[in-house]
Amino acid sequence: MKRFLLLYNPLSGDGYFKNRLDSFVAGMQKRHCLIIPVRTERKEDTPALVALALELALDGILVAGGDGTVHAVVNALIAAEIDVPLGIIPCGTSNDVATFLRLDKDLDACANLFATGCVKKVDVGSVNGRYFLNVASAGLLTGVAHSVDQSLKSTLGKAAYYLKGFEELPRFRAIPVSIQADDLTIEGEVILFLVMNGGIVGSFTKIAPEARIDDGKLDLLIVHRCTLPELARILISLLSGSHFSHKAVQYLQASHVTITSPEELESDLDGELGPSLPLTIQALPRRISLFLPDHTTL
């Protein structure tokens, strides 16, 4: 019988998973899998919980939550140097990694995947001693992610981010930065930058068309200084994936990126508050294992 630790956030999204927990456990038991469920309301408890993977000789760790919950588990796994497959059950307000990997939200399909044990190695991004599975960013979207009220997120879901983003536009200004992406140097004022491992951020349509999560590269999207009407058009175009037609948008790939600024600027890692600039970011090829369907194209 396979054994799994299940870490679930009861506050993720609209609380969908906690109301289906018993059904999921029953589905796993039917497939001869033992589940050890643990609530994860406090992210600071995650390292101690993840350490159980070695103590209990688990076959995998399952995470039911949004990008922030997955982020905490990924950091705990790498910090403790634990090589146990990670299974993602998408059920948070934002599930960009799950969307990019086209993971099924159906709990019976999730149970089939974990029981079958199909595992693939994927890249992780490293930034100043911390890690991200999907994106490191700073600028407009970073501020929005940390200023959206929890009750609004629960009520409106992804739409809360869009509404807050447009509300912040008149007050936002460009920040002077210097970006070194492998051998390329970029200097100037930017409104936001995204350093992506996956290709979906903020639930927008895939905004990094060449992004793969196993290619050893990071995908950079930079929005340079522009007028307010231009910025509004760029944000709208992110929804349709047509943002590359704007002259203020720059897209490239690199395996190593450094970002500095004379101003104090906080970053965001997978929707969680990250370190302040300067940032040293690099791709760690095939660093962790994920439960993924055989047909998944990374």
For 135, the token pair is 């994106």
Catalytic residue, chosen from 168, 230, 263, 272, is 272
Per DSSP, what are the bridge partners of residue 33? 2
Residues 283, 197: contact at Cβ < 8 Å?
A: yes
Q: Is 272 a catalytic residue?
A: yes
CA distance 288 to 258: 23
Alpha-helix residue ranges (DSSP H) falling in 1-149: 21-30, 46-50, 52-55, 67-79, 96-100, 107-116, 140-145
For 107, the token pair is 């709990």
Closest by CA to 65, choosing from 7, 119, 115, is 7
- Most distant pair of Cα atoms in the chain: their distance: 60
Angle, helix 107-116 to helix 21-30, in steps of 10 degrees:
40
For 274, the token pair is 């990250």
Work out whether strand 279-291 and strand 119-127 pair parallel, antiparallel, or are unpaired.
Answer: antiparallel
CA distance 8 to 26: 16
Closest by CA to 32, choosing from 115, 112, 113, is 115
233, burial (CB in 10 Å: exposed 0-12, middle 13-18, buried 19+):
middle
Which of the residues are catalytic? Answer: 272
